[in-house]
Structure 1
Amino acid sequence: MTTISQRGALTPRRLTRTAERVSFLYLERCTVHRDANAITATDAEGTTHIPSATIGTLLLGPGTRVTHQAMSVLGETGAAVCWVGEHGVRYYAAGRALSRSSALMEAQARQWANARSRLAVARAMYRLRFPDEDPAGLTRHELLGREGRRVKACYRAQAARTGIPWHGRQYVPGDFGAGDPVNQAITAAAQCMYGIAHAVVASLGCSPALGFIHSGHELSFVLDIADLYKTEIGIPLAFDMAAENEEDVGPRTRRALRDRINEKSLLDRCVDDIKHLLLPPDANSVDGPGKDQDMVMLQTDGNRHVASGHNHGEVSWW
């Protein structure tokens, strides 16, 4: 009988292209196992077989157990695996990135390493958040000042819309109950948005640490991306939840934000925004040739690349 260890690993040519996969699959309260090259999800209602090669990202929610054999086949088929909270609201951990290409990571590093391009990306992020303003020519200090004023104005506008008294943003790290209900809702919404942004950043193979606005933290880029949707989604929803009922405002905000994220297809939007920010307008899509291949190159002079797996000791490149 053939055992798992004796099965040959799937080659890139036999894998389903990322563009043709289900973007993500969420499972909760079940046991994830393996049957040949499929994974199975078993719960009280029975067992469901899922072709592993058709999964882009597998989100494992509360109550899930996953076997070593299941993780093995998911790794072979190039699926990303993330451990998340209920309905994917919070991000806890992940396995490999969804992409086999380093294109986005390299683009992020290039943009981050140059002071001018890093500022250009920061301006582009501001433009995504506030499309009615043109941040061209603004310094970092001016960007931060304008962003702060816009966020304060958003708080005041939402307070006026919902009729909630607003006395300013109050957050004590480690003490969620220290703030009033609306501040608790804002904190809950922000934490959920950080989890969503972290899951997307990890799945794309980007570095969570190389931020363009935030700096000095292992999740700087995650905070950058999450903030893109703060004034549009997070803050208004938090005020709605606080105005609806002050009881259990944290859990209700997380559930409402989960539904809003699904309604607005925010995961897809995050992916598009990250590509827009990091890749030049005329760049080939990272889903292009080589995306689903184990293509490893070597760098040589003149920003050129040569094939790996060869001895280049006798080769002259000029």
Structure 2
Amino acid sequence: MSDIPGIRPVRIGELVRAQDRLTFIYLERAVIHRDANAITATDERGVVHIPAATLGALLLGPGTRITHQAMMLLAESGSTAVWVGERGVRYYAHGRSLARSSRLLEAQALAVSNQTSRLRVARAMYAMRFPGDNVDALTMQQLRGREGARVRRIYREHAHRTGIEWNRRDYTPDDFTAGDPVNQALSAATTCLYGITHAVVVALGCSPGLGFVHTGHERSFVFDLADLYKAEYAIPIAFDIAAEAPDDIGAATRRAVRDAVHAGGLLTRCCRDIHTLLLPDEPDAGDSWDADVVELWDRAGNLAAGTSYDDEEVPW
């Protein structure tokens, strides 16, 4: 039998551990190809080689073209490709997950399907917005009320800071131009955060639809995560842009969010927050992303796959 054509896939033992990888690399306006076990990015300035085994995820921005060979190498290297807008501010599509292990996805499904653990995660999300406050004894209704008051206060503070007249959050989902300038900027900034968090969720192998605070939507978990960062990113940027009164509020807001996300390392922070929320008792869980283990489920404990169990007694 002839050998399988093509370059030999990279073995698990040859891959760089998660904690030693470059978490995300963003490329735009370039041709992405493969040279041996490196990803190449070519633009008018020349060619850059990026060792594929060091990549966590490759974010493909506007103007990128990627070859079949490059996608093959990313898959073999345990990396993922995510098609995004400028600097990741909008999520469009993704390739395979960065994670080979289903550990995070299973933890998410387990936590969301149990009322006690779901409440724990929801409280942990609210605790991230109220650092130093103990929210363990608060009900979901009390948490929503406290969060609503916090957001209204933040709106007022930034309105006062920028001199923008502010009444309330008012927008029409299907008509961007119906809102006033600050509401348009808020809508654009919020959409950016949804794209960023969606890109991280799919890169880590989690389900965008299994939310803890939000529910019933295919992006519920995305909305949960984006809410953690709105007060820090979306709201102040929106008021700043509205104060500048650019001709194209949407484009100006997206560029501002892009730069703030890049400067603030939000992608890395979002990865860390997801692990903290879903696996709070396993601080090193992020290191097991490359565990290439397939097992058979059994009530008494998982069994190794790839084994013949034909000697077992059949109960029929």
TM-score for the superposition, normalised by structure 1: 0.92
CA shift at 1:284, angstroms? 5.3
Supply the distance in 2 between the matched residues of 1:182 and 1:6 (Cα, whole angstroms): 54
Say if 1:108 and 1:252 are closer, same or farther in 2 by CA, change over 3 A: same
In structure 2, the partner of 1:211 is 211
Q: Does structure 2 conserve the Cα–Cα contact (< 8 Å) formed by 1:158 and 1:239?
A: yes
Q: Does structure 2 conserve the Cα–Cα contact (< 8 Å) formed by 1:101 and 1:286?
A: no
In structure 2, the partner of 1:305 is 302
In structure 1, the partner of 2:311 is 314
Query: What SS class does the counterpart of residue 285 from structure 2 fall into?
Result: coil
CA shift at 1:4, angstroms? 9.3
Q: Alpha-carbon deviations, 1:44-80, whole Å to 9, x = none?
A: 2332222222211111111111111111111111111
Q: Does structure 2 conserve the Cα–Cα contact (< 8 Å) formed by 1:209 and 1:217?
A: yes
Map 1:283-298 onto structure 2 (within 5 A): 283=282, 285-288=284-287, 291-298=289-296
Map 1:1-318 onto structure 2 (within 5 A): 5-281=5-281, 283=282, 285-288=284-287, 291-302=289-300, 304-314=301-311
Query: What SS class does the counterpart of residue 24 from structure 2 fall into?
Result: strand
Q: Does structure 1 conserve the Cα–Cα contact (< 8 Å) formed by 2:193 and 2:226?
A: yes
Point out where structure 1 has 5 or more consecutive residues left out of the alignment. Answer: none
Q: Does structure 1 conserve the Cα–Cα contact (< 8 Å) formed by 2:87 and 2:262?
A: no
Say if 1:232 and 1:287 are closer, same or farther in 2 by CA, change over 3 A: closer
Say if 1:132 and 1:38 are closer, same or farther in 2 by CA, change over 3 A: closer
Q: Does structure 1 conserve the Cα–Cα contact (< 8 Å) formed by 2:279 and 2:285?
A: no
Supply the distance in 1 between the matched residues of 2:45 and 2:5 (Cα, whole angstroms): 30
Q: What code does the residue aligned with 1:271 have? A: C
CA shift at 1:246, angstroms? 4.5
Supply the distance in 2 between the matched residues of 1:4 and 1:81 (Cα, whole angstroms): 25
Point out where structure 2 has 5 or more consecutive residues left out of the alignment. Answer: none
Query: What SS class does the counterpart of residue 232 from structure 1 fall into?
Result: helix
Q: Alpha-carbon deviations, 1:220-277, whole Å to 9, x = none?
A: 0000000001112211121112112343222111111111112221111111111111
**Structure 1 vs Structure 2: percent identity of aligned residues?**
55
Q: What code does the residue aligned with 1:150 have? A: R
CA shift at 1:292, angstroms? 2.0
CA shift at 1:315, angstroms? 5.3
Q: Does structure 2 conserve the Cα–Cα contact (< 8 Å) formed by 1:182 and 1:242?
A: yes
- Dislocated runs of 4+, deviation >6 Å: none
Q: What code does the residue aligned with 1:59 have? A: L
Q: What code does the residue aligned with 2:293 have? A: M
Q: Does structure 2 conserve the Cα–Cα contact (< 8 Å) formed by 1:26 and 1:59?
A: yes
Q: Does structure 2 conserve the Cα–Cα contact (< 8 Å) formed by 1:4 and 1:69?
A: no
Query: What SS class does the counterpart of residue 210 from structure 2 fall into?
Result: coil
Supply the distance in 2 between the matched residues of 1:160 and 1:279 (Cα, whole angstroms): 40
Q: Which moved more, 1:247-256 or 1:58-67?
A: 247-256
Query: What SS class does the counterpart of residue 41 from structure 2 fall into?
Result: strand
CA shift at 1:132, angstroms? 4.8
Say if 1:287 and 1:165 are closer, same or farther in 2 by CA, change over 3 A: closer
Q: Which moved more, 1:128-137 or 1:215-224?
A: 128-137
TM-score for the superposition, normalised by structure 2: 0.93
Q: What code does the residue aligned with 1:314 have? A: D
Q: Does structure 2 conserve the Cα–Cα contact (< 8 Å) formed by 1:181 and 1:246?
A: no
Supply the distance in 2 between the matched residues of 1:132 and 1:250 (Cα, whole angstroms): 35
Say if 1:180 and 1:246 are closer, same or farther in 2 by CA, change over 3 A: farther
Cα RMSD (Å) of the superposition?
1.9
Q: Does structure 2 conserve the Cα–Cα contact (< 8 Å) formed by 1:26 and 1:61?
A: yes
